[in-house]
Structure formats: C-alpha cells, structure tokens
Amino acid sequence: MNRRAIPHNPTEAPPILCHELAPVKEEYRNPWFKVMDRGSYFTLEYDRPQVVVLPVVDRDGILMVRVKRPIINDCPLELPAGDSMPHETPVEAARRELSEEAGIYIDALDRFSPVIPISEMPGRMPVLLSIFQIELTMDEFNRRKTFDGDEIISVELLPVKTVMKKIISGEIYLSSPIAILSRFIFSNIKEVTGNE
C-alpha cells in the first residue's frame, strides 16, 4: 500500500486513491460530486480537483472569508476554496476562487505557490485538497473588489496571532482551514511568536 499520498507535483490534480476498493457502485451524481457505494461504506468523490487558497497579506495577516453555510446554520471563517471548472488547472482554479470569493484577481499564476496537499476526510473523501499560498500586499487587499453575494458575507484580514486565538477559542472550527493555517503558523512559529 502506498503510504505517501502526496503527489510529486502539487500543482496537478491529486489522484483519487481508492480505485482498487470493491465493490464500487455509483449511487448518486451531480455536477460537483458523486456518492459511491463501496460495500461496507459510502464515499463522497469529486470529479474535479478541489482547491484552497492561503492568502498571506504583508507576511503578518491572513485573508479569510466569512461564508454563509445554511447546512450548519452558521457563517464560519474559511479560506477561499472551491472546485475547479472543466479544463481548468488547480492553480487556475485557485486564482478564480480568490477573485470570486475575496475580490482579488491576480494575473500572474506563478505567484500562487503550491503547498503540500491535505486530506479532509480520508475515511469518506478519497481526494486531496490542492493548496496554494499567495503573498499579497496591503495595497492589493485594499483594492479588492467588493460585491454583494449570497454566499460570501465578508472578507476579513486577521493578524496571525488573532488567527491563533480564534483557532484556540473555536471561532475558526472547520477542519481544512485549521490544518492549513496551523501548518503555516508552525512553519513560521519564530516569526509569529518571537519564540523558537
């Protein structure tokens, strides 16, 4: 069994890793995902790469979006994210999601740096999230396009120390943002806290 699920090139779509599991029967499909019967359990599988953007502003702030989530009756803080469109690479999807959800369009794709992907729910979702970090300036943040949307409630810039406090207090409580933000904070812990 392959113990390392990380693709060699994180700018490509991470593969679905459970094709060898049987029996496999498609129970449901819509334009975004399918539900597969794998005998003793069901999986939720995406046909297109899923992307998350980690926007870091002036090295000390994290851009987050407050998103209306009717299914949990809340508007949690999240990172810009979504699925790719047909014929769109993961990095192109990351650029589009940042533009659609945060109002910031970045023309240069090479500014989006791939980060090691994560698995959101390995027992139910056999797909890795493609993650891209982008360094933004305060000027780019301030020039973001504002828009009225049904899904995005607000675009917020939080100092890294505030992000840490919100994770600890439970205000940031979704698994993938916590994992992505924690990895970023741990990798920059001396810079963030002043301690080693």
Q: What would the pLDDT profile of 85-129 be if each residue is shown by its tens digit?
A: 988 999 999 999 999 999 999 999 999 999 999 887 777 777 789
The residue type found at 168 is I
Domain of 119 in residue numbering reads as 48-193
Residue 131 lies in a domain: yes
**pLDDT number for residue 112:** 98
Beta-bridged to residue 26, according to DSSP, are 36
What span, in angstroms and rounded, lies between the C-alpha atoms of 46 and 125? 8
Q: What is the DSSP letter of 170?
A: T
What span, in angstroms and rounded, lies between the C-alpha atoms of 2 and 4? 6
What span, in angstroms and rounded, lies between the C-alpha atoms of 121 and 161? 27
pLDDT, tens digit, 9 for 90 and up, residues 10-31 = 555 555 555 666 667 899 999 8
Residue 133 lies in a domain: yes
CATH code assigned at 99: 3.90.79.10
pLDDT, tens digit, 9 for 90 and up, residues 154-180 = 999 999 999 999 999 999 999 999 999
pLDDT, tens digit, 9 for 90 and up, residues 37-80 = 887 788 888 888 899 999 999 999 999 999 999 989 999 999 99
Residue 117 lies in a domain: yes
Residue 10 lies in a domain: no
Residue 2 lies in a domain: no
Number of domains into which the chain is organized: 1
Residue 84 lies in a domain: yes
The answer to whether the beta carbons of residues 159 and 165 sit under 8 Å apart is no
Residue 15 lies in a domain: no
Give the 3-state secondary structure of residue 176.
helix
Q: Is the pLDDT of residue 7 over 60?
A: no
Give the 3-state secondary structure of residue 139.
helix
Q: Is the pLDDT of residue 136 over 60?
A: yes
Residue 126 lies in a domain: yes
Report, as an integer, the average pLDDT of 176-187: 95
List the structure tokens of 37: 């019967």
The answer to whether the beta carbons of residues 36 and 157 sit under 8 Å apart is no
The answer to whether the beta carbons of residues 62 and 180 sit under 8 Å apart is no
The answer to whether the beta carbons of residues 57 and 184 sit under 8 Å apart is no
Nearest to 94 by CA among 132, 120, 49: 132
